[in-house]
Chains A and B, each alone.
Chain A
Amino acid sequence: MADYAWRFLNSWAVRALCYPRTVDDYLDALQPLWSVDEIRARIHCIKRETADAASLYLQPNRNWHGHRAGQHVELTVEIEGVRHSRCFSLSSSPTDPLLRITIKRNGRVSRYIVERAQAGERVVISPPRGSFVLPQPRPAKLLMISGGSGITPMLAMLRQLQAERYQGDIMLLHYDAHPQALIGHAELLELRKGLPGLRLQLCFTREGLGDSARFSAAQLETLVPDAADRAAFLCGPAGLMEAVRRHHLERPFRALSTEQFVLPALNVRGEGEVLFKRSGVVASGASAGSLLELAERSGLTPRYGCRTGICHTCKHRIIEGWVRDVRSGEVRRARDEDLQLCVHAAAGDVQLDL
């Protein structure tokens, strides 16, 4: 969309004409990528990386204003008519012509993207988020520790550094189950050509090497003796991240930045802990009949109406958690949806945006 067209459509007058609908509601009818509010992107192509992973190359509309290598976006796709949003790191650098995200098949959304998404499909993305980025000025020595799909933000950083002709020393310590699972191997070899200081250390944990392939202080000592002099970047499965963080407490790196893909495992035993994220309050789910009561007992004052599930006044966003519908007794895992607090109780750990 041309600049003047965008500015016209985003003007006070056009918005007033569309009210209470938005300009986008009408633009949708013309061209699904046009928008004055949202970052929408077309899937330009899909490249299979491994048996379990694929990269989406995205052509965003003009509302995208660039990112920094290492940041992630929230991607929204429509599956069977229902929208789902998940975070994905960008594996492309800001210097690349298209955005790229690389996704490993796991649950509902990732499976859909890897198996069924098609070139030409429209997705919605958030502005870039996160502070998992290379510091300015660039450190002389870097250590990147990643596991599985955690390599994606590293790929973005490496591409960025290559474009900058970075001359420093980079150690990429990557963990994966086996070589076939490794995402972006050819790309890493390619990157090495432009990055004279890049060394790759790949550890395969399911190749019969037992625990020796896993992260440990001893392993790090052998593979990266000067780890303490390096600015470290960490992204991977919860177990790996935990081990590296613990190590950092005892023998600190020069600096440590982390990006967490998965929340620590949620409990499904009885009633769990409820975290009211915005207010920073934690309460035990067992101590009240509903999440609404629990919030009130914890000193919060969410809006409510009927308190019996009719009016939907008390709806709040659940980030993730196990909930029980007190009307039917049904227990389910909920993620990123609006939940009626008055008729749901915690059936495991719950994080609420409240």
Chain B
Amino acid sequence: MKVTAASHQAVNRLSQEQIEEFGRELDALRAEVMGTLGKRDAAYIRRILGVRRSAELAGRLLLWIGFLPPAWLAGTALLSLSKILENMEIGHNVMHGQWDWLNDPKLNSRTYEWDSVCPSEQWRHSHNYIHHTYTNVMKLDRDLGYGILRVNRERPWHPVFLFQPVYNWILALLFEWGVALHDVEFENIGKTKSKDEAKAQLRQIVRKARRQVLKDYLLFPALAGPFFLYTLAGNFTANLIRNLWAYMIIFCGHFTEGVAVFRKEDLDNETRGQWYLRQLLGSSNLEGGRVFHILTGHLSHQIEHHLFPDMPSHRYSEIAPRVRALCAKYGLPYNSGSLWRQFGSVIKRIHRYALPPRPMSAESSVRAH
């Protein structure tokens, strides 16, 4: 495994046997947590569902009288909260199968549809399968820069990247729509993807988007009658806030300073231990309080999430100290910082890698094995 980040010299010192031992310890941790899932976890997710529902109902109601400025502000805030909880803590995690063991048809990973213009079925493919299996592998993980951004040195430079400091923000504002189009894989049409397949996906996106738009931009505003525009503006703003929040949290997961990328060859004969190692080195965490973690859908624990994608998310906070201790034991980095530090480093990289590479003095690569 070739780890191209100077901060990862430690990986160098681990023997293959140590890497496997590291993996076995993580397996044991997973088994321990999964073996104790029960009432407390069920109560947690049902409480989150309840909070989300109350936030939405209150938000919609307040936006109905949105011509009063305080009602508009509070309504928009509550609706944003509801959409953030739904996308991050509920939708994303339900679709990972974190709650399948509850056997609740409303929380089933195969059938859950989230409050986003991206059809769940396409998300499950691009995210659960492609991104979580090929995490941070160049040319395979399509989430690495989402095709249009150069976020690491290893990606060849192209003049179009000069504009990325600008179109990065367009992506942020339209994040939901970018996510929706992601799985169509426009760059692969005619290659690994047939035109018909892409067309079918686009049709599915249009169908989903139509229902989302109908609800937020037509039906709910229409219910407000003469105050149509206030409700419309509130719904639009809530979707926008959700977009920006999701964008920021998600970009902090894999594009921060110190995150490693990998080559296709690294996947050859990859063992369980090496897979864990790749997930660890390719992810970065955010620090904050309980509410912050919930609002990020526990993606603030990106490392724990990538190690155990189907573990109920609220358990990540509980095991994080143990994962961190395990990393310390093996001398492995554990990339974690405040939102502002991590997001600052992402923005810095988006600017730095917009420019062509400077002539390199020493290529800092390390070998893990």
A-to-B contact residues, CB < 8 Å:
13, 16-17, 19-22, 25-26, 29, 80-85, 305-306, 308, 310-313, 315, 327-328, 336-338, 340
In angstroms, Cα B27 to Cα A315, docked, is: 21
Report yes or no: A81 in contact with B42, Cβ–Cβ below 8 A: yes
Docked-complex contact B309 and A338, CB < 8 angstroms: no
Residues of A within 8 A of B266 (CB): none
Asked, given contacts A29-B53, A84-B103, A310-B132, whether A17 binds B125 with beta carbons under 8 Å apart, the answer is no
Question: Which chain B residue lies CB-closest to A29?
Answer: B53
Q: Are A20 and B125 in contact (CB under 8 A)?
A: no
B residues with a Cβ closer than 8 A to A are 27, 31, 38-39, 41-43, 46, 49-50, 53-54, 57, 96-97, 100-104, 106, 108-110, 113-115, 124-125, 128-129, 132-133, 211-212, 214-215, 219-220, 275, 309-310
**Contact call B114/A13, Cβ cutoff below 8 A:** no
Contacts A82-B42, A84-B103 hold; do A312 and B133 have CB atoms under 8 A apart? no
Whether A328 contacts B128 by the Cβ 8 Å rule is: no
- In the complex, number of A-B residue pairs with CB atoms less than 8 Å apart: 94
A315 to B309, alpha carbons, bound, how many Å?
15
Q: Which residues of A contact B214 (CB under 8 A)?
A: 16
Residues of chain B lying within 8 A (CB to CB) of residue A315: 97, 100, 109-110
Contact of B220 among A17, A22, A81, A311 (CB under 8 A): A17
- Cβ contact within 8 Å between B211 and A16: yes
7 additional contacts, CB 8 Å, given A19-B211, A81-B102? A16-B211, A21-B115, A306-B129, A312-B96, A313-B128, A315-B109, A328-B27
Interchain Cβ contacts under 8 Å between A and B, 5 examples: A81-B46, A82-B101, A83-B103, A85-B103, A306-B132
Quick check: A20 and B128 within 8 Å, CB to CB? Answer: no
- Using Cβ atoms and an 8 Å threshold, which residues of chain A touch B114? 20
Bound state CA distance, A81 and B49, in angstroms? 14
A contact residues around B41 at 8 Å (CB): 81
Residues of chain A within 8 A (CB-CB) of B220 are: 17
In contact, A20 and B113 (Cβ under 8 angstroms): yes
**A13 and B219 in contact, given A311-B133, A315-B110 (Cβ under 8 angstroms):** yes
Instruction: Looking at the assembled complex, report how far the CB atom of A28 sits from the nearest CB atom of chain B, in whole angstroms.
Output: 8
A306 near B211: Cβ-Cβ < 8 Å = no
Nearest CB on B from A146, distance (A): 31
On whether the beta carbons of B106 and A25 are closer than 8 Å, the reply is yes
* Contact A81 to B109, CB < 8 A, known contacts A19-B215, A20-B114: no
